[in-house]
Structure 1
Amino acid sequence: MVSRRLVTLLSVPLLLALAMPALARDITHAMGVTDVPEKPLRIVALTNEATEDLLALGIVPVGAVRSANADPWFDHVSEMLKGVTVVGEELAPNLEVILSLEPDLILGNKKRHEDIYEQLSAIAPTVFVENITGQWRQNLAFYADAVNQTEKGAEVLKYYEDRVARIKASLGDQVNEKVGLVRFIAGQNYAYNNDSFSGSILRDIGFGRPAAQDKAGLAEKITLERIPELDGDRLLRFSYETGDGGATKEAETWMASPLWENLSVAKAGHVYPVFDTVWATAGGVMAAHLALDDIEKIYGLASSR
């Protein structure tokens, strides 16, 4: 619900004009075409992904949504975000706080923020990516273009790609292994497919996937009876906790099941707990590098950083 004060402020016809520097560029994005400043200085990021991608580009936003289930930031970005204003939650940005920051560019996400696009656009030039999934590399390139840092964006992506190539070479024949992904959330567990953020990391390296996960799409709910579908050479498990310990209890229940204990991957001791923040929640290039760190540890490889 937008307050009367905010509605009044957003109705001022000169607001956008005053916020816009003289030099601007057309940016085509998920909601259309928008004039953005040639050199934006006060950027607000409305997703965890956009926040860490800006940091990877060497840009500290003036405002960012709170990291999911954090207080207020994920550990891997907290030092860099000291002094940055929290502008609400990713699924519920605070428009009044955003307005108070006087941004000259807002980066958002159509799937998350389509309903408030007009209000955001009345505050400052606003551009959206389509979604947050395995297309995180394309999103990074888009953010880099939006802030007029395309060369830097290309460098950041090349460093990731070079790391992937080094890891793939170090793995040798192990790159042919099938690696599964399961995410525990209280009452609704998911197997993650190729178009998820985590699935994209595995596919970039060249790993195979268990047959049930080797398909397009983000993820699908998986019930206890479908545990055998998780079997492969390695299995990564992560839990999204909301404060009540429900996801941890869910994981414990599953791993105590005879179906789980009968998995060949479990018998081999090749089930690995990894952080949900890294493999599912953060979604940006910095998390991608942390995921690569995990792969190196799991396979006993030297660091490729």
Structure 2
Amino acid sequence: MGNAVVPVNPQRVVVLTNESTDIVLALGITPIGAVRSWSGAPYYDYIADDMANVPIVGDEMQPNLERIAALKPDLIIGSQVRQEQIYSQLNAIAPTVFSETIGESWQENLRLYGKALNREVEAEKLLTDWDRRVANLQQQLANRNLQVSLVRFLPGAARVYLKDSFPGQILQEVGLQRPPLQSGDGFAQEVSFEQIPAMEADALFYFTYTGDGNNQDLTNVAEPWLNHPLWKQLSVVQLGNAHAVSDVVWTTAGGVQAANLLLDDLEKNLGL
């Protein structure tokens, strides 16, 4: 988006994506303002305590410029994929640094935010710790040749997640295989009930849409799928290897903390 001249050690940082909230906290900085979580709650549970007193400045798709300006930030962190249209307005308030996208690019974004915050050493330590953990998992999984399926349930729909998604990229990094329908490039693919057999794998992780704060009734979103005869016929289901996991951790949050929580789920459910 151009050049941003930032303070040497920014103290008043506003973050405009859930991913950057996760990452900035991991770098040891508490923002002075942040966008609301996608769930409608102020912040996701896993960072709620750290963000307890931080004011909301709108949501990712519609940050509130007046609230941001009132906080007098000395740095704003956002993403081109979310806020490109208002970059010039944000940059008029304070130096603004955007990632290009979010999700699968979280490691690149961690380095970018670390540079903007003058926390490059901390960012590299987080990435070194991540690489060490991934290498350990690769070693444990090397001889198991496991195929892992990723499924997300949404109102009236289901998706399988592909290699370029946040969880897909992590599975690839640790050396897990994917079913044929999920092994291609791309983010996700919507599937029908008839395609449930293509979800078959050695292990299946499913996560359910948690809402966007619009008071939708999401109580039974997954039920049509979990109760479908084809789902019940999957060997992975019958063997007890289909695992419900957090939608926040596996797809909506992003960031280094969420990535490590995802690895926790893999270790727990794959017996590592």
| TM bracket, shorter-chain basis | over 0.9
Partner of 1:63 in structure 2? 33
Partner of 2:216 in structure 1? 244
Report the Cα offset of residue 70 of structure 1.
Answer: 4.3
Report the Cα offset of residue 172 of structure 1.
Answer: 4.4
Q: Which amino acid aligns with 1:35?
A: V
Q: Deviations over 1:199-218 (max 9, x none)?
A: 11111111001111111111
Partner of 1:179 in structure 2? 148
Q: Which runs of 4+ in 1 moved over 3 A?
A: 243-246
Determine the C-alpha separation between the residues in 1 that align with 2:166 and 2:142.
Answer: 24
Determine the C-alpha separation between the residues in 1 that align with 2:99 and 2:3.
Answer: 12
Determine the C-alpha separation between the residues in 2 that align with 1:150 and 1:241.
Answer: 34
Q: Which amino acid aligns with 1:166?
A: N
Equivalent of residue 155 in structure 1, options 96, 107, 125:
125
Partner of 2:184 in structure 1? 215
Determine the C-alpha separation between the residues in 2 that align with 1:220 and 1:106.
Answer: 33
Determine the C-alpha separation between the residues in 2 that align with 1:244 and 1:86.
Answer: 21
Determine the C-alpha separation between the residues in 2 that align with 1:150 and 1:170.
Answer: 30
Determine the C-alpha separation between the residues in 1 that align with 2:176 and 2:74.
Answer: 42
Determine the C-alpha separation between the residues in 2 that align with 1:115 and 1:189.
Answer: 31
Q: Which runs of 5+ in 2 are unaligned?
A: none
Report the Cα offset of residue 36 of structure 1.
Answer: 1.7
SS of 1:249 mapped into structure 2? coil
Equivalent of residue 123 in structure 1, options 74, 89, 93:
93
SS of 2:47 mapped into structure 1? coil
Partner of 2:79 in structure 1? 109
Map residues 253-272 of structure 1 onto 2, 5 A cutoff. Answer: 253-272=224-243
Determine the C-alpha separation between the residues in 1 that align with 2:168 and 2:142.
Answer: 20
Partner of 2:12 in structure 1? 42
Determine the C-alpha separation between the residues in 2 that align with 1:101 and 1:223.
Answer: 47
Partner of 1:6 in structure 2? none
Q: Deviations over 1:84-139 (max 9, x none)?
A: 11111111111110000001111011111011111111111111111112111111
Aligned 8 A contact 2:162 2:185 in 1: yes
Partner of 1:196 in structure 2? 165
Determine the C-alpha separation between the residues in 2 that align with 1:256 and 1:222.
Answer: 16
Aligned 8 A contact 2:13 2:76 in 1: yes
With over 3 angstroms needed to count, the CA separation of the structure-2 counterparts of 1:85 and 1:55, relative to structure 1, is same
Q: Deviations over 1:211-257 (max 9, x none)?
A: 111111111211212112211111100001224343x5232111222
Determine the C-alpha separation between the residues in 1 that align with 2:201 and 2:120.
Answer: 39
SS of 1:250 mapped into structure 2? coil
SS of 1:102 mapped into structure 2? coil
Q: Once the two structures are aligned, what percentage of the paired residues are identical?
A: 46
Determine the C-alpha separation between the residues in 2 that align with 1:135 and 1:225.
Answer: 32
Indicate whether 1:139 and 2:95 are aligned.
no
Q: Larger radius of gyration, structure 1 or 2?
A: 1
Equivalent of residue 233 in structure 1, options 202, 222, 230:
202
Aligned 8 A contact 2:6 2:116 in 1: yes
Aligned 8 A contact 2:142 2:175 in 1: no
Aligned 8 A contact 2:163 2:172 in 1: yes
Map residues 164-175 of structure 1 onto 2, 5 A cutoff. Answer: 164-174=134-144
Determine the C-alpha separation between the residues in 2 that align with 1:195 and 1:212.
Answer: 14
Determine the C-alpha separation between the residues in 2 that align with 1:36 and 1:189.
Answer: 43
Indicate whether 1:98 and 2:60 are aligned.
no
SS of 1:32 mapped into structure 2? coil
SS of 2:164 mapped into structure 1? coil
Q: Which amino acid aligns with 1:97?
A: R
